[in-house]
Structure 1
Amino acid sequence: MKVVSLVPSITETLFDLGLTTDEIIGRTKFCVHPKEVADKVEIIGGTKNLNIEKIKSLKPDLIIANKEENIKEQVEELMKDFKVLLTNIETLEDNYYLIKQLGHIFNKEEKAQFFNLKTYEAFDIQKPEKKLKVAYLIWKNPYMTIGGDTFISRILEELGFENLFKNEKRYPEVQLEDLKEADLIFLSSEPFPFKEKHIEEIQEVCKNPKIMIVDGEAFSWYGSHLAKCGNYYRDLLEIFK
């Protein structure tokens, strides 16, 4: 089966399940894991600016898209000519069924079960005794955070944190003054590449909260990626014991 993946975390999952570059024939420029094989796959644009004609020229048997990461109109255009699997991952349970579904489609049930078990183990860790309020920033100029209806917020909750903006929707803009009630401020390494210098800028306004850069992929990439984050989560939570 010839597959075009429009979702970075799903591209990684397909390779982890055992698919090869003979089967995965198209990916976005953000599909970078695992690098040694992803680099060999044809790039068909970005997640939100797909090269529709290039995808058509590849003549895939299946295109895998995501409700949040891809543009609705572009996915609908592809649906006119191709079979499209449209995914929507909001919770760990959704993630479990995604991996199980992909395992079934590609006859990789055993590998799928392995990654689901490893994901369960990754979150089977001791949580902080106190539920710390976290402001998780994903963007600068303007500063943007995550609402309670996002996958990132669900991962925070699974790790025993409380999203300071859990009552907001999607990705609201915030002012630094809005972060003062947080116990912790997490600066994500993606999509905006926060650096150490940004910690100093934010600390000038938010005097008390602990501010740290976190691995954005560990909070936002679903699929098999979560199964590899167990040690990262353990090390992170160890700081707050």
Structure 2
Amino acid sequence: MTASDPIPVDALGQRHAALGRDARIVCLVPSITELLCDLGLIDQLVGRTGFCIHPREALRAVPKVGGTKDVKLERIRELAPTHVIVNIDENPRAVAEALADFVPNVVVTHPCVPEDNHALYRLMGHLFACAPAAAALSDSLTAALAEARAVGAALPAERVLYLIWREPWMTVSRDTYIAATLAAVGWHTEPAAAGERYPAFDWQAPWLAGVSRVLLSTEPYRFQDKHVAEVAALCGRPVQLIDGEWTSWYGSRAIAGLRELARLRRALAA
């Protein structure tokens, strides 16, 4: 960032204190916890959720403050963070508002497409004095996006059903980060229009006629190999198990995720 660059803001347009190496960070977003570690900030991370699992060994010593939804506010108060990082999709608004009563900087994030990771990297680099590392990640993301889009341009587009839950069966709408990530490699999610971001459906839905492939995500429902035959019998389409972190984790994992999706798309096409 140069002197002429605008000061980065969070997803709500808020500016926060850039405390650099004096910051004490609690992160309630698993993928951003990993990003902070990859930016060299593990020593400043004073709290994380039980779902913040990467990098596993490095995080063992970082205190847990509950889950992404059931946050232990008093435990966070004890940790006296200068910054708490939250996400619009993953953390309840009431939690963020309660945190704002005693945390100086509640940093709100909301990546909607893979490209939004550039702004996320830049914000973390600004707040925590790691701009060179953040810029390096941006360069890697640019390369990964180019690789993914090259695959998407080279192969015929496919309409896919991306399953995230079973009983009830649930998928994703096209206005989600997941759908935008899949679209980078030419996988376009169905249904094309949905009233909810994560709609439930039944196997008689008319829009299923346009689906050519089903992707079973390993999260939030833990789809496994044993579910492949079950879903294939229900829909009569090719079914592929897929690592949910490739599509739904932003931050630094988005780079590897895009590359893995490109590899898988090429492999299935072959």
Give 1:76's match in structure 2, choosing from 89, 94, 97.
Answer: 97
Asked if structure 2 preserves the Cα contact closer than 8 Å seen for 1:26 and 1:42, the reply is yes
- Whichever residue aligns with residue 174 of structure 1, its letter is F
Give 1:62's match in structure 2, choosing from 83, 93, 117.
Answer: 83
The yes-or-no answer on 1:19 pairing with 2:20 is: no
Give 2:190's match in structure 1, choosing from 164, 184, 198.
Answer: 164
Offset of residue 177 of structure 1: 3.0
Offset of residue 235 of structure 1: 1.9
Give 1:198's match in structure 2, choosing from 217, 227, 230.
Answer: 227
Asked if structure 2 preserves the Cα contact closer than 8 Å seen for 1:122 and 1:233, the reply is no
- Whichever residue aligns with residue 256 of structure 2, its letter is K
SS at match of 1:229: helix
Distance 1:185 1:177 in 2: 15
C-alpha RMSD of matched pairs (Å): 1.3
Offset of residue 123 of structure 1: 2.3
1:109-148 → structure 2 map (5 Å cutoff): 109-125=131-147, 126-127=151-152, 128-148=154-174
Partner of 2:265: 237
Distance 1:197 1:180 in 2: 24
SS at match of 1:186: strand
Offset of residue 119 of structure 1: 1.4
Distance 1:181 1:175 in 2: 15
SS at match of 1:145: coil
Partner of 1:85: 107
Distance 1:195 1:129 in 2: 27
Give 1:51's match in structure 2, choosing from 66, 72, 77.
Answer: 72
Distance 2:217 2:209 in 1: 18
Q: TM-score normalised to the size of structure 2?
A: 0.85
Unaligned runs of 5+ in 2: 1-22
SS at match of 2:168: coil
Distance 1:63 1:214 in 2: 31
Offset of residue 230 of structure 1: 4.8
Asked if structure 2 preserves the Cα contact closer than 8 Å seen for 1:66 and 1:87, the reply is yes
The yes-or-no answer on 1:174 pairing with 2:196 is: no
Q: TM-score normalised to the size of structure 1?
A: 0.95
- Whichever residue aligns with residue 149 of structure 1, its letter is D
Percent of residue pairs identical: 35
Unaligned runs of 5+ in 1: none
Partner of 2:14: none
1:92-118, CA deviations, whole angstroms, 9 ceiling, x for partnerless residues? Answer: 232210111101111111111111111
SS at match of 1:98: helix
Distance 2:132 2:123 in 1: 12
Tell me the matched-pair count: 239
Distance 1:24 1:191 in 2: 25
Asked if structure 2 preserves the Cα contact closer than 8 Å seen for 1:134 and 1:161, the reply is yes
Offset of residue 161 of structure 1: 1.3
1:56-110, CA deviations, whole angstroms, 9 ceiling, x for partnerless residues? Answer: 1111011000011001111100011112001111012322101111011111111
